[in-house]
Amino acid sequence: MINRRKFIHASVFTSLAGLTNKRLPAIQDRQAVKGNPIVISTWDAGLEANKGAWEVLSKNGTALDAVEKGVMVTESSKNCCVGLGANPDRDGFVTLDSCIMDHQFNCGSVAFLERIKHPVSVARRVMEKTPHVMLVGIGAQQFAVAEGFPLEEQKLSEDAQRAYDNWLKKSEYHPPAVNVENKQGHGPFAPAKLDNGEWNHDTIGMVAMDAMGNLSGSCTTSGAGFKMRGRVGDSPIIGAGLFVDNEVGACTATGQGEDVIRVAGSHSVVELMRQGLFPEAACKKIVERIVKIKGEKAKDIQVAFLAVNKKGQVGAYAIHPGFEYAIKTNEMEKLVKAKSWLNT
Ligand code: GLY
């Protein structure tokens, strides 16, 4: 049961901690801004993705180029939840969602995209070459092909085929909130347990500040494993899976997309930072909002937010323990465990 007293206590604490300079984690003390770039991204896959972004940032490249190159690393890697090697929908097709946003409110997005290796790059092309923000399905694929992106073979990876065959034994479709067997409470979006016992990510969201002090972000995923055909989550939705306001900060989300969308999650976090909350406090407030909306069902889902403000201060917060994010700056490169609503 979600503990109501804990909820009220935490809300009060969040308000106080968020509005004062007391008890800030070390990462929030960082003063970055010009000449001191930073990249952060969700889950342990973020370590490799950040290296890709750093190749751009360390050469005084733009945050926009960095967040595209960074998540392309994950889109190319073998994993359950991002890129063409990921788990399929319940009809056996891998469908991808992605978006990108720069420091001037330019943004692009693709959803329900099939057979294209780098949806984030197609999202960027939507942003730069069309009058639109979002293209979906066959239209997005046609646009990608017209732009020269190769149409890849429609074939599941070995891991995805195995996972799909296993799922087909029961073919049970649970709404994403329900996955009682998953003790980590993440729901079927994964983070999935790998053969080596480690937990994999479900989405990569990345935000970066370049040496000029400009912010950009990207987010890319295959969405929920064995989802209904046509289902789209938060990751390609500007304001839900990602939001960037160069005057204030940037935020990205991971976890159950439906519950991120209903609170306009990333945009809401940025708006709280605009009001003066530090990134962790802002992420926590929106996690609390989701917990309040979901009530008892909150324990069955995972949602996490990861944010950076204009000073380069970083924070994150999740419903469940286990969410971690990768950070890279001139001074450090590491994984950080986020605080969480449950079991803290
Ligand atoms: N956050 C990924 C999804 O819900 O699709």
Q: What tens digit of pLDDT does each residue of 60-114 get?
A: 999 999 999 999 999 999 887 899 988 999 999 999 999 999 999 999 999 999 9
303: which strand partners?
Answer: 255
pLDDT value of position 31: 54
Q: Which residue has the higher pLDDT, 267 or 175?
A: 267
Residues of the chain with CATH 3.60.20.30: 32-83+155-340
pTM: 0.86
Assess contact for 255 and 235: CB atoms under 8 A.
Answer: no
- The whole-number average pLDDT for the span 112-140 is 98
CATH among 3.40.50.300, 3.40.1280.10, 3.60.20.30, 3.40.718.10 for 32-83+155-340: 3.60.20.30
Ligand 1 touching residue 223 (CB < 6 A): yes
With residue 159 as reference, give the H or E element that holds it.
helix 158-168
**Does the pLDDT at position 141 exceed 90?**
yes
335: which strand partners?
Answer: 326
Closest ligand 1 atom number to CA of residue 241: 1
pLDDT value of position 174: 61
Where helices occur in 173-309 by DSSP H, the ranges are: 257-261, 265-274, 279-294
- Ligand 1 center–CA 189 separation, angstroms: 7
- pLDDT single digits (tens) 169-191: 988 766 443 333 333 333 444 44
Could you give the dihedral angle defined by the CA atoms of residues 221, 227, 229 and 230, in that order, rounded to the nearest 10 degrees? -50
Assess contact for 239 and 248: CB atoms under 8 A.
Answer: no
Ligand 1 touching residue 236 (CB < 6 A): no
**Does the pLDDT at position 282 exceed 90?**
yes
Ligand 1 touching residue 224 (CB < 6 A): yes
- Ligand 1 center–CA 251 separation, angstroms: 15
Ligand 1 touching residue 191 (CB < 6 A): no
- Ligand 1 center–CA 314 separation, angstroms: 22
| Alpha carbon distances (Å) from 83 to 44, 221, 259, 281 | 16, 7, 22, 32
pLDDT value of position 172: 74
Share of the chain above pLDDT 90, in %: 73
Closest ligand 1 atom number to CA of residue 233: 5
Closest ligand 1 atom number to CA of residue 258: 4
Residue 203 annotated as catalytic:
yes
pLDDT value of position 184: 38
pLDDT value of position 173: 67
Strand, coil or helix: what is 131? Answer: coil
- Short-list 190, 193, 168, 166, CA closest to 179: 190
Q: Which of 42, 79, 200, 203 to mutate to test the pocket of ligand 1 (most atoms within 8 A of CB)?
A: 203
- Ligand 1 center–CA 82 separation, angstroms: 10
In the chain, the DSSP E strands lie at 38-42, 96-101, 107-113, 134-136, 204-209, 215-221, 242-245, 249-255, 303-309, 314-318, 324-329, 333-337, 339-340
- Short-list 178, 295, 220, CA closest to 68: 220
Tell me which of 42, 74, 95, 203 is the catalytic residue: 203
Ligand 1 touching residue 303 (CB < 6 A): no
* Range from 32-36, 182-186, 217-221, 248-252 carrying the lowest mean pLDDT: 182-186
**Does the pLDDT at position 221 exceed 90?**
yes
- The whole-number average pLDDT for the span 299-306 is 93
Ligand 1 touching residue 225 (CB < 6 A): no
**Does the pLDDT at position 204 exceed 50?**
yes
pLDDT value of position 300: 87
Give the span between the Cα atoms of 174 and 243, in whole angstroms.
29
Closest ligand 1 atom number to CA of residue 256: 4
Tokens 């950076």 belong to 308
